[in-house]
Chains A and B, each alone.
Chain A
């Protein structure tokens, strides 16, 4: 009899533990490599506040975020751009803002470029810094690889096609872009303002150019005056409910502004 009691007890124990495991909830986020580091931090704090919840973040680009949210591979997609027209069936929630800034080497005497000059440089019509008020020297155009949201935003703003751009260097992520420009006094590139501001503040020899007279700074992205900025969005297939809604509300709340700033993004105005 005793043995049977023991057996029943252990089976019960097992059932209870598996029940609590089943109660463990998991949120899967995939998408933009720009948002991913922020999402990891947001997830950690969310996990701490909600025991039993796990937040799993994988990066792979905004396009993947959107397609994973649609296919259901992810609960929430991350996209560092506004939804395109053919994606309007999805729901998007802005959690922070990011600006894209044109960067030059610190030693480059050029102080500002007009939109037309940037376009002419990127399309190969201007190939020497002399023609835009700089020293005599060839311009090295740094472009992003196809499919990156930074590239999409840049070409969309300047109304260019990627095939119009005559680049000398094509890069993957922001860091590679900053290192390329820092190592070449004749280079011009474009990267996330938050990252560039952090790097130049830490002694990397790069500088951000103003646009249409507006300084490229986190401050001006926040107040909306900087023209080349983008929203960082969470994307879902349906109107969020339950845990998904709880997480999205959390990421848009004032309590995570410090996390957003720590990643050199700009929190939503509250």
Chain B
């Protein structure tokens, strides 16, 4: 692309915006580091992984159980929501009658806009007592996974829908010319062609699941332990910050910022694998 002189103002505006966006991320990282530095300096990063139990007021800083719990609830939700979200999209795009497809799609979009605290309240008053009737206490990893599933399902469905819509028309025509059935067209042509977009949507949903705080805090029980069953109550890194930050001072407060750092690290790893997996290949 050649740069004409009229492009110059636009280029500078874009460049400044890009720098600001990057700088904000960097500033957040620096802020987290600065706030957690007192305790990192005193006890060392290693003890956050090796301490048995999280009792910051008794100088025990084990965050590892919460790291596993965050991963478990996030991965669990993605595993349940991905097939459901994809199925919903494929159904509305290719099989549902028109009168059903449009309202259905609107409803999925609406689901994406419901505030997380509403899901949390519903979970606390309906879902948790329901699970407790089978396996007390009810507030559990399972409740967290189910709530997150409902929350990220629309993200997966909507991004998959957009990715499928972006598949070039001639792919479909080619498929039709070869006499493929609708199922073969979907599984053999469309899904592989839209793979990058769909994967991107799933990773976006995973990031949301890892970062979600309020709803999980209300239904997951918040007991600090490494989950060994679906019915174990768990505490995620975000819930840990939200539960204790308002009441924390000194090392306790600083160690909560370490929770934040760890979460940020988790999301960074996710983003890196996203660029690996989705890596630039469009309609491959």
Q: Which B residue sits closest to A60, measured CB to CB? A: B246
**Interface residues of B, count at CB 8 A:** 31
Query: Which A residues are CB-close (under 8 A) to B235?
Result: 170
CA distance A62 to B248 in the complex (A): 10
Q: Give chain A nearest CB distance to B152 CB in angstroms.
A: 23
Assess whether A184 is in contact with B124, with CB atoms less than 8 Å apart. no
Digitize B129-147: 1 where CB-to-A-CB distance is under 8 Å, 0 elsewhere.
1001000111100000000
A169 touches B222 (CB 8 A): yes
Question: Contact size class for A?
Answer: 20 to 34
Chain A positions within 8 Å of B153 at CB level: none
Q: Which residues of A contact B57 (CB under 8 A)?
A: 146-147, 162
Inter-chain CA distance A211–B124, complex, in Å, is 29
Q: A145-B243, A168-B139 are in contact. Are A184 and B221 (CB under 8 A)?
A: no
List the A side residues contacting B139 at CB < 8 Å: 168-169, 180
Question: Does the CB pair A183–B56 fall under 8 Å?
Answer: no
Query: Is the Cβ of B243 less than 8 Å from the Cβ of A184?
Result: no
Decide if B53 is an interface residue (CB 8 Å cutoff): yes
Q: Is the CB of B249 within 8 A of A171?
A: no
- CB-CB under 8 A from A72, the residues of chain B are none
> Would you give the 0/1 interface string for A45-61, flagging 1 where the beta carbon is closer than 8 Å to chain B?
00000000000000111
Give residues of chain A (137-162) contacting chain B, Cβ–Cβ below 8 Å.
137-138, 140, 145-148, 161-162
Q: Does B74 contact A (CB under 8 A)?
A: no
Closest to A187 in B: B137
How many angstroms from the CA of A33 to the CA of B247 in the assembled complex? Answer: 9
Residues of chain A with a CB closer than 8 A to B55's CB: 146, 162-163
- 17 additional A-B pairs beyond A146-B56, A168-B136, A176-B124, beta carbons within 8 Å, are A59-B246, A61-B247, A61-B248, A63-B249, A67-B249, A140-B132, A140-B138, A145-B247, A147-B248, A163-B55, A169-B221, A170-B221, A170-B222, A172-B242, A180-B124, A186-B137, A187-B137
Residues of B near any A CB (own CB < 8 A): 53, 55-58, 60, 124-125, 128-129, 132, 136-139, 217-218, 221-224, 233, 235, 242-244, 246-249, 252
Closest 10 CB pairs of A and B: A147-B247, A61-B247, A170-B222, A140-B137, A183-B129, A168-B137, A145-B243, A169-B221, A163-B55, A184-B132
15 pairs, CB–CB < 8 Å, chain A vs chain B:
A64-B247, A146-B55, A146-B247, A146-B252, A147-B57, A161-B58, A162-B57, A168-B137, A169-B137, A169-B139, A170-B233, A170-B235, A170-B243, A183-B128, A183-B132
* Contact surface of A with B, Cβ cutoff 8 Å: 33, 59-64, 67, 137-138, 140, 145-148, 161-163, 167-172, 176, 179-180, 183-184, 186-187
